[in-house]
């Protein structure tokens, strides 16, 4: 008997975790942190739904923290199996996971120093040391290679086009097959290659982040140039909260192109995210997964001045525009961008530019919803800067692109599970799949367990 239990990414876009149980064996697909609303973040602190030591292996679709960031805590609490992923995902996790632990230590220390936490003392969910320790469990595998997990259970990773190393996870037992989309990339992304086409699978778990939206058809380079030049004309700073892996590299490539075309003057550009710098270098090591040539990778790496120290970061906050600052994190939930927001959000000359989905409960979502005040480090910061969204740089497929990818199947899955979307988006995608494709599908609940019908049985 095979079951799947949904331990995250239900009713939300974060916390991706799927527990597969097959003949008394347990496999976890994705191991992400919950982000956003406090009730979601508190789930990170709750006991794991099963004993971590009983999980045989973890398979990661990609390195983003909402898919990988719980792994150090899982290992700290007893998991000691293998972590299967692509080579690029392993390389990126070596950057992202220790940074995640460091940020949590840093934020706990800052809260204790400033006294704004309700916990005495505030503690990190896990430490940098915890994250570094779990990296020894990683076993990278090549795309398309079939890995035997034992007793006829096999694994294959197929490129999904979302970020470097991102993969569809294909699991097969002798009697059924499952495919997890992770985050689905776009067919005509500026940097990443198109997602693999899948012809058939018994059970499909598909994301729905943009299940109710279409990306803007406007040329993102034209829109980005307009935003930069408009802000510069009033002497302002363009502050871009950005995901260190994927979005930061795309933005630097866009800025390089705009300067090369003389669409924007040679304004100073700062990349204030040490891990984004390291992630950018990894692009050189995995040329087959993206569209950039080695020369374009070199140009991307040279598109911004690197901010290495905390002192340099603080100096930026005392500087004036025109200039462009890229800083993690993409939803403004932590890291150096929060200090930049405190400095630049109150000034109407400046622009805060988001370039990807903002999960409910994050500062990014509050800003996009018109918040006039945001809370950072226990302080209330007025928002007078212009707030913009450049959605057509998203690395997620929109609703039409998801449906287009699904239409590549030569036969429908027995059942499709819609996850990794907020309720409106997930339900909109469910409606389209049922109406346009005539496929049976469902939106699972948190902790729901489903028994999968097996071939030759029933």
For 18-44, the DSSP string reads EEEEETTEEEEEEEPPP-SSHHHHHHT
pTM score:
0.90
The residue ranking higher by pLDDT, 95 or 5, is: 5
The number of CA neighbours under 13 Å toward the Cβ of 330 is 25
When the pLDDT of each residue in the chain is averaged and rounded to a whole number, the result is 92
pLDDT higher than 60, residue 458: no
Tokens 């398309």 correspond to what residue?
Answer: 144
Peptide bond into 19 cis (omega under 30): no
400-426: per-residue pLDDT in tens? Answer: 999 999 999 999 999 999 999 999 999
Residue 65 confidence (pLDDT): 93
Q: Render pLDDT for 24-59 as a digit per residue (tens, 0 to 9).
A: 899 999 999 999 888 999 999 999 999 999 999 999
Would strands 323-327 and 269-272 be described as parallel, antiparallel, or unpaired? parallel
Lowest mean pLDDT among 216-230, 327-341, 387-401: 327-341
% of the chain beyond a pLDDT of 70: 98
Is pLDDT at 106 greater than 90 in this prediction? Answer: no
Q: For residues 20 and 99, give the distance between their C-alpha atoms in angstroms, rounded to a whole number.
A: 29
Q: What is the predicted pLDDT for the residue at 115?
A: 63
Which tens digit of pLDDT belongs to each residue from 260-298? 999 999 999 999 877 777 777 788 888 888 898 888 888
pLDDT digits (tens, 9 = 90+) for 174-215: 899 999 999 999 999 988 999 999 999 999 999 999 999 999
Averaged pLDDT for residues 252-260 = 93
CATH architecture under which domain 220-393 falls: 3-Layer(aba) Sandwich (3.40)
The pLDDT, as a whole number, for residue 408 is 97
Among residues 390, 40, 455, 360, the alpha carbon closest in space to that of 241 is found at 390
Indicate the Cα dihedral angle 6, 176, 397, 334, nearest 10°: 30
CA 84 to chain CA centroid, nearest Å: 18
Q: Could you tell me the CA-to-CA distances from 410 to 37, 61, 197, 201, 209 in Å, in that order? A: 39, 23, 10, 10, 24
Question: Per-residue pLDDT averaged across 315-320, rounded?
Answer: 90
In degrees and rounded to multiples of 5, residue 56 shows phi and psi of -75, -45
Q: Is the confidence at residue 456, as pLDDT, over 70?
A: no
Q: What is the mean pLDDT of residues 235-253?
A: 88
The CATH class given to the 2-213+395-452 domain equals alpha beta
What integer is the mean pLDDT of 332-359?
91
DSSP 301-317: HTSSEE--SHHHHHHHH
Quick check: 397 pLDDT over 90? yes
- pLDDT of 171 strictly over 90: yes
The arithmetic mean of pLDDT across residues 128-133, rounded, is 97
> In this predicted structure, what is the pLDDT of residue 309?
83
245 and 69 in contact (C-beta within 8 Å)? no
Domain locations in the chain as residue ranges: 2-213+395-452, 220-393
* The pair of three-digit structure tokens given for residue 307, joined into one six-digit string: 């901010």
């Amino acid at each position: 008997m095979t079951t799947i239990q949904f331990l995250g990414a239900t009713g939300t876009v974060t916390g991706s975790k799927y527990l597969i149980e097959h003949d008394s064996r347990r496999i976890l697909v994705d191991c992400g942190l919950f982000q956003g609303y406090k009730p979601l973040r508190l789930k990170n602190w709750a006991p794991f739904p099963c004993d971590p030591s009983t999980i045989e292996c973890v398979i990661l679709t990609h390195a983003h923290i909402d898919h990988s960031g719980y792994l150090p805590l899982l290992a700290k609490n007893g998991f000691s199996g293998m972590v299967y992923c692509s080579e690029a995902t392993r390389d990126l996790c070596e950057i992202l996971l220790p940074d995640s632990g460091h940020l949590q230590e840093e934020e706990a220390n800052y809260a204790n120093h400033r006294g704004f936490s309700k916990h005495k003392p505030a503690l990190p969910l896990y430490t940098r040391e915890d994250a570094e320790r779990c990296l020894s469990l990683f076993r990278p595998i090549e795309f398309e290679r079939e890995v035997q997990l034992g007793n006829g259970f096999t694994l294959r990773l197929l490129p999904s086009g979302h970020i470097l190393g991102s993969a569809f996870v294909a699991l097969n037992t002798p009697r059924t097959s499952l495919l997890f989309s992770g985050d689905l990339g776009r067919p005509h992304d500026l940097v990443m290659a198109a997602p693999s086409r899948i012809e058939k699978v018994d059970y499909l778990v598909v994301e729905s982040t943009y299940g109710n939206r279409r990306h803007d058809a406007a040329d993102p380079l034209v829109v980005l140039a307009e935003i930069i030049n408009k802000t510069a004309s009033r002497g302002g700073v363009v502050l871009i909260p950005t995901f260190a892996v994927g979005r930061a590299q795309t933005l630097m490539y866009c800025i390089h192109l705009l300067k090369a075309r003389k669409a924007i003057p040679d304004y100073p550009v700062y990349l204030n995210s040490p891990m984004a710098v390291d992630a950018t270098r990894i692009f050189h090591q995995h040329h087959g997964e993206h569209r950039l040539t080695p020369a374009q990778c070199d140009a991307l790496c040279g598109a911004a001045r690197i901010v290495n120290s905390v002192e340099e970061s603080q100096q930026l906050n005392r500087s004036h525009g025109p200039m462009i600052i890229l800083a993690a994190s993409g939803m403004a939930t932590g890291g150096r961008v929060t200090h930049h927001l405190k400095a630049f959000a109150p000034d109407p000359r400046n622009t805060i530019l988001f370039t990807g989905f903002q999960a409910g409960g994050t500062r990014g979502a509050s800003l996009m919803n018109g918040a006039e005040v945001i809370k950072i480090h226990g302080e209330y910061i007025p928002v007078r800067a212009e707030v913009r969204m450049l959605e057509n740089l998203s690395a997620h497929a929109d609703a039409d692109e998801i449906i287009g990818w699904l239409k590549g199947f030569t036969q429908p899955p027995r059942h499709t599970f819609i996850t990794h979307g907020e309720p409106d988006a997930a339900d909109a995608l469910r409606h389209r799949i049922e109406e346009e494709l005539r496929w049976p599908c469902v939106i699972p609940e948190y902790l729901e367990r489903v028994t999968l019908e097996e071939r030759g049985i029933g």
